[in-house]
Amino acid sequence: MKILLTGAGGQIGHDLIGTLTASGHEVVSTDLAPRPPSHAHAQSKSWQRLDVTDPAATKAMFEKIQPEMVFHLAAILSASGEKNPTLAYDVNQTGTWNVLEAARLTGVKRMIFTSSIAVFGPPPSGPLPDPTPDDVALHPTTMYGVTKVAGELLCAYYTKKHGVDCRGVRFPGLISAAMPGGGSSDYALFMYVDAVRKGGYDAFARADTRIPLMYMPDGVRALIEVAMADREKLSRSIYNIAAFSPRADEIGQSVQRAIPEAKFTFSPDPRRQAILDSWPKSLDDSAAQRDWGWKPVYDLDGMTDDLIPRVRRMLELGAILSTH
């Protein structure tokens, strides 16, 4: 199948490209930035520059490529979005509108939307239920979350009104062997990266911070499973998906199983901590389990065991690339 990715240079694109190409799909990667110098990104034969905030360029790209399916990954994450809400609105809100419009106008049949736990926030009536189900009142506290709520609603609207079959998942904080980029959940990944390269990490979150997290191989598999599911099986457009929800200090303990000398301290940054505290502690993903058989493979320690050697390789490769 010919599949186009927007925002392919980001953390999800890094792993999604490899999985899609390994399954025999033809992947056309688009991003504002040039192709990153990683082995994973090299697997996409075609890398095209695309600014999703430009409606004419987005439509022209879809006309040229004629993809059968689009994975819309381009986004500014929560912490970066609070530093530059205008950019977050442009990329996440206008960009999603442009991608859906281009899909409608050029006859793309299926679009996959990547939402996130950032759509949630504490309702005025009290804290979020734990675990948090799919259908609670959405009170996001960040521009990223606001635009993801709107994107979810647009996704359902285009499915109903225009026959662009749009579906997707709400990702927990995703962890993988890639450098993070502007998310509030990045403390979790830095606990791995800095344990390997510096022997420890001073986290910008409290030790008792607990949010839903997921290892990227499960995240990519979820995205592909929901993308390929029969429409008749789907009772909704966007699904909660869950894996594990450790406290920050429990992540530290898991890393110390593999790197006993690693030291972790916790110095919460008020802005990012407030975002983390506004998110669910854990998610109810029973609808995804029921409708398309969702089930994570990795728990926290399973992820740690798989991830640490990958982080080592990533850092070695980065060091090699930066000296050439």
Burial track 54-66 (b if 16+ CB lie within 10 A, e otherwise): ebebbbebbeebe
Which residue, 128 or 164, is less far from ligand AKB as judged by CB?
A: 128
Distance of CA 131 to the CA centre of its chain: 20
* Shortest Cβ 273–ligand AKB spacing (Å): 12
Annotated catalytic residue 157: no
At 89, the amino acid letter reads: Y
Which residue, 183 or 252, is less far from ligand AKB as judged by CB?
A: 183
Helix axis angle for 300-322 and 248-258, nearest 10°, is 70
> Binding of ligand AKB at residue 118 (CB under 6 A)?
yes
**Strand locations in the chain (E):** 2-6, 26-31, 46-49, 69-72, 110-116, 165-171, 173-175, 200-203, 213-215, 238-240, 263-266
* Shortest Cβ 182–ligand AKB spacing (Å): 7
DSSP 122-164: --TTSSPPSSB-S-S-----SHHHHHHHHHHHHHHHHHHHH--
Return the residue nearest ligand AKB (CB atom): 183
* Shortest Cβ 203–ligand AKB spacing (Å): 14
- Residues 287-316 contacting ligand AKB, CB under 6 A: none
**Residue whose pair of structure tokens reads 């609207």 in the numeric block:** 157
Torsion angles phi and psi, residue 246, rounded to 5:
-80, 155
Which residue, 118 or 308, is less far from ligand AKB as judged by CB?
A: 118
> Binding of ligand AKB at residue 77 (CB under 6 A)?
yes
Question: Using CB under 6 A as the criterion, what x/- string covers residues 153-192 for binding ligand AKB?
Answer: --------------------x---------xxx-------
**Per annotation, catalytic residue among 89, 144, 158, 187:** 144
The answer to whether 76 and 93 have CB atoms below 8 angstroms apart is no
* Shortest Cβ 172–ligand AKB spacing (Å): 6
The interface region with ligand AKB, picked from 92-100, 115-123, 127-135, 217-225 by CB under 6 A, is: 115-123
The answer to whether 192 and 258 have CB atoms below 8 angstroms apart is no
d(CA 229, CA 222): 10
Residues 29, 78, 273, 304: which binds ligand AKB (CB under 6 A)? Answer: 78
> Binding of ligand AKB at residue 117 (CB under 6 A)?
yes
Which residue, 78 or 282, is less far from ligand AKB as judged by CB?
A: 78
* Shortest Cβ 246–ligand AKB spacing (Å): 15
60 CB contacts (<8 Å, ≥6 apart)?
Answer: none
Query: What amino acid positions are annotated as catalytic residues?
Result: 144
Point out which residues bind ligand AKB (CB under 6 A).
77-78, 116-118, 144, 173, 183-185
